[in-house]
A and B are shown apart, each in its own frame.
Chain A
Amino acid sequence: MPATVKKAVFSAVNFKKMTEPELLDLIERHLNNALSTPEQVEFERMRKNDLQLNKRITEHQQFLKYLSGLNDRLAFEKKLNDIHNEIDIDEVKTALGIRESKIITLWRNHHSKISVAASIAIFAVMTTLFFTGYFNNRNQQSHYNALRRELGNVKRSQTALIRDINNNNSSKQLISPGSFGGTGFVLTATGDLVTALHVISGADSVYVQDASGNSYKTKTVYTNPDCDVAILRIVDTTFKTLSPIPYAFKKSKADLGEDVFTLGYPKDSVVFGRGYLSSFTGFDNDSLAYQVAIPVNEGNSGGPLLDNFGNIIGMIKGKQTQVDGAAFATKSNYLMKAIQNIPADSAGKKIILNSKNNMGKLNRSQQIKKLQNYVFMVKVYN
C-alpha cells in the first residue's frame, strides 16, 4: 500500500476537493474492500449521509456487474462450446434412434451433383420451350383476345352479314374499308376521342365514323401502353362540334354485380351489349381492369362501359377465350389518370372532361339514343 493511502484518513472536506478520477478510484477501492479499516468506516459514514454519493456508488456497482457478468458469460460460453465439441453427434443420434431418411443422406452426400443435374435439366426444358416458341407472346395471348376487328376480306366473307363499306357509305369522302376496326367514344365536344391502344397500333392512318356514317380523319395525340389507352383528335375540316356530352366519368369504384352496358362496332353498325360487373380485377388479376360478364366481340375494343345512370365506368379492351362471360374493361379512374397525364404540348390544349351526367333519369333506350352519337367506329388503315 502506498504511504498516501495510510495517512489519507480523509474527511468530508478533502473529499469535496477530489477530482473525478480520484473519486472514482476511491469508490472502486471501497467496493473492492481495498481501503484501510478507518477509511472504510469513514467512507461508509459519508455514504450514508450523502444520498447522491450513495446513488452514484450503487449505479457504478451495477455497471461493473454488467461488465464482469459479460466477461463470465463469454468465458462460460467458451467452456460450453468446448464441451459440445467433445460430443459425437452422430453417436448420440444413433443412440436416440434418429436415423435420417435415405433421401436426406443422399442429398447430403451428393447435393452438388444433384444441383448440377437439376440445373442442366431446367436449362434443357427452358431451351426446348424457347425454341418451340412457348415464350412467344402470341401463344400466351390465346387466353386473351384483344377485341379489335379484322376487316380483311377473308374475315368478312365468313360472316353471314357481309356488308360492303363502300356501297353503304354515305360519307362525304369515299374511302376504302379499313383493315382493322374498333370503337371509340368522345371525350370533348371538340372531337377528342378515347379508344384502346391495341386498336390503332401499327396504324398508318386512323379514321373514325359516327353513327350516321360520316368518316373523319384523326391524329393520335397520346398513347399509354400501360393502360392500353389512346387519345385521338379529329382533324377533319368537315367535323362540326358536337352538342355537350351527356355522360361523365365515374371517379369512384363501381360495385360488384352492378348492371352495365356498352355500345360498340363489332360490325358496321352500332351494337348494344348488356351485362354485369363480375370482378374487380381483369385478366390474370390485372388491377387496372374490371371483369365484366357481357357479350362483346372483335370490334368492341375501345367501347365505353356504362352503369345504369350513364356514368362511364370503364373501356372495353378484351376478353378471355376459354372462360365464359369474361370480358375486361380498363377502369374509369385509370382512364382519367391517363387522360390527365397527357402532356400539354402533345394535346395542344388540355382535355377537360365533362363532369356532369345528364342521363341519370333516362331509361335505357333513351340513354342509348343519346349515347350513340358519341360512340364512333374506329377504322385503322395500314
Chain B
Amino acid sequence: MSLKIKSSVPTDSEDILGILNNSPDTLKRIYKVYFPMVLQMVLNNSGSEADAKDIYQESIIILYSKVKAGNFELTSKLKTYIYSVCRRIWLKKLNQRGNKECELKDVHDFLSVENDLEIHEMRDLQFSKMEESLLMLGEPCRTIIQDFYMQNKSMQEICDKFGYTNPENAKTQKYKCLQRLKKLFFQL
C-alpha cells in the first residue's frame, strides 16, 4: 500500500472518493500530508502545537462532513480548502483570546469558508448538548441508550445485560430513558 502511494500521488478527486468510501488509508494520508502546512501557519501566528492539532482536526471533521453531505465541489484544491478552514478557526480563537489586531502571516492562499464553519458550529453545538445530556442522564439509562442507539445492540442483548425479565420490560425502560434524555437535551 505504501509503495503504491509513493509511486503515484493520488489526485484530489481520488481522495474525495476515499473519503466517501470511509477509507482509513485516505484519512491517514490526508491527515499526514496537510498537517505540516497547518502547523506552520499556527506556529507562525503565536500558536502552539496543541493549538495546531485542535484546529487541524476540526478542519478535517469539517471537510469530511462536507464531502459526505455531497456538498463538496472541487473548485479549489483540497489543500486550499483545509488551509482556509484552519485559518478561519485560528483567527477566531485568536480573537477570543483577546488578540485584537489579527493579521495572520499566511503560508498559503485561501478562500472564504464562513458558511461551512457556521454549519459546523451549529452541528457541534447539538453534539455537545447531546454529550452533556448523556452525562447528566446517569446510569443505567446512559448505557441502555448508548447500547441501543449508538452501538446498535438488540433489545435482547440489553435485556440480558441488565437482567430484565423480558424484552418488553427493557423496552419500557428504554422508552423512559429516552424521554428523560430528550427532556434534558431540549432544556439545554
Which A residues are within 8 Å of any B CB, using their own CB? 20-21, 24-25, 63-64, 66-71, 73, 76-77, 79-81, 83-84, 86-87, 89, 92-93, 95-96, 98
A83 and B61 contacting across the interface, CB-CB below 8 Å: no
A170 smallest CB distance to B (angstroms): 69
**Inter-subunit contact A89/B150 (CB<8 Å):** no
Shortest CB distance A108–B (Å): 12
Tell me which residues from 21 to 51 in chain B have a Cβ below 8 Å from any Cβ of chain A: 24, 27-28, 31-32, 35-36, 39-40, 43, 49
Q: Check if B175 is an interface residue, CB within 8 A of chain A.
A: yes
B149 at the interface (CB under 8 A from A): yes
Q: Does B171 make an interface contact (CB < 8 A)?
A: yes
Number of residues from B at the complex interface, CB < 8 A: 35
The answer to whether A64 and B149 have CB atoms under 8 Å apart is yes
Residues of B within 8 A of A69 (CB): 123, 126-127
Please list 22 pairs of residues, one from A and one from B, whose beta carbons are closer than 8 Å in the complex, sorted by A's number: A20-B175, A21-B171, A25-B175, A63-B185, A66-B185, A67-B145, A68-B149, A70-B127, A70-B130, A70-B131, A71-B150, A73-B61, A80-B31, A80-B57, A83-B27, A84-B53, A84-B57, A86-B32, A87-B35, A95-B36, A96-B36, A96-B39
Within 8 Å CB of B127, what residues of A? 66, 69-70, 73
Specify which chain B residues have a CB less than 8 angstroms from the CB of A93 in the assembled complex. 39
Query: Contacting A67 at CB < 8 Å: which of B24, B43, B53, B149?
Result: B149
* B2 at the A interface (CB under 8 A): no
Residues of A within 8 A of B150 (CB): 67-68, 70-71
Q: Which chain B residues numbered 158 to 188 have a C-beta less than 8 Å away from chain A?
A: 171-172, 174-175, 178, 182, 185
| Docked complex Cα distance between A93 and B175 (Å) | 53
Contact B40 A96 (CB under 8 A): yes
A80 surroundings in chain B (CB, below 8 A) = 27, 31, 57, 60-61
Cα distance, A318 to B127, chains bound together (Å): 63
Known: A67-B130, A70-B127, A96-B39. A87 touches B32 (CB 8 A): yes
Asked if B110 is an interface residue, CB under 8 A from chain A, the answer is: no
Secondary structure at the A interface, as helix, strand, loop or mixed, is: helix
Specify the chain B residue showing the minimal Cβ separation from A32. B152
Give the residues in chain A near B123, CB-CB below 8 Å: 69
B130 touches A79 (CB 8 A): no
Contacts of B28 in A (CB 8 A): 83, 86
**Contact in complex: B24, A79 (CB < 8 Å):** yes
In the complex, the answer to whether B172 meets A21 with C-beta atoms within 8 Å is yes
Inter-chain CA distance A258–B149, complex, in Å, is 77
Residues of chain A with a CB closer than 8 A to B151's CB: 71
B27 touches A79 (CB 8 A): yes
Partner of A84, one of B31, B129, B182: B31
Whether the Cβ atoms of A24 and B35 lie closer than 8 Å is no
Q: Please determine whether B145 and A83 come into contact, CB atoms closer than 8 angstroms.
A: no
Residues of B within 8 A of A89 (CB): 39, 49
A80, B149: Cα distance in complex, Å: 23
A92 to B175, CA, bound (A): 51
Residue of A nearest to B176 (CB): A21
| CA distance in complex: A358, B167 (Å) | 95
Question: With A71-B150, A96-B40 in contact, is A83–B31 under 8 Å at CB?
Answer: yes
CB distance from A121 to the nearest CB of B (A): 28
Which residues in B have their C-beta under 8 angstroms from that of A25? 171, 175
- Contacts A21-B171, A83-B32, A84-B53 given: A66-B130 contact, CB under 8 Å? yes
A-B pairs with lowest CB-CB distance, top 7: A21-B175, A71-B150, A83-B31, A80-B57, A67-B149, A70-B130, A92-B36
Residues 117-140 of B, flagged 1 when their CB comes within 8 A of A and 0 if not, give: 000000100110111001000000
Are A92 and B182 in touch, CB under 8 angstroms? no
What CA separation (Å) do A39 and B60 show in the bound complex?
A: 42
In the complex, how many angstroms separate the beta carbon of A340 from the nearest chain B beta carbon? 42
Task: Assess whether A92 is in contact with B149, with CB atoms less than 8 Å apart.
Answer: no
B57 and A77 within 8 A (CB): yes
Chain B residues with Cβ below 8 Å from A84 are 31, 35, 53, 57
* Interchain CB contact (< 8 A) of B175 among A24, A68, A87: A24
Contacts of B126 in A (CB 8 A): 66, 69
Question: In the docked arrangement, what's the CA distance between A83 and B131, Å?
Answer: 24
CB distance from A374 to the nearest CB of B (A): 54
Q: Which residues on B sit within 8 Å (CB–CB) of A64?
A: 149
In chain B, what residue has the closest Cβ to A63?
B182
Shortest distance between the CB of B121 and any CB in chain A (Å): 14
**Selected contact of B64 from candidates A66, A76, A86, A92, CB within 8 Å:** A76
How many whole Å from A54's CB to the nearest CB in chain B? 18
Known: A63-B182, A95-B36, A98-B43. 18 other contacts (CB 8 A): A21-B174, A21-B175, A24-B178, A63-B185, A66-B185, A67-B149, A68-B149, A69-B123, A69-B127, A70-B127, A70-B131, A79-B27, A80-B31, A83-B28, A84-B53, A86-B32, A93-B39, A96-B39
Chain A residues whose C-beta falls within 8 Å of the C-beta of B174 in the assembled complex: 21
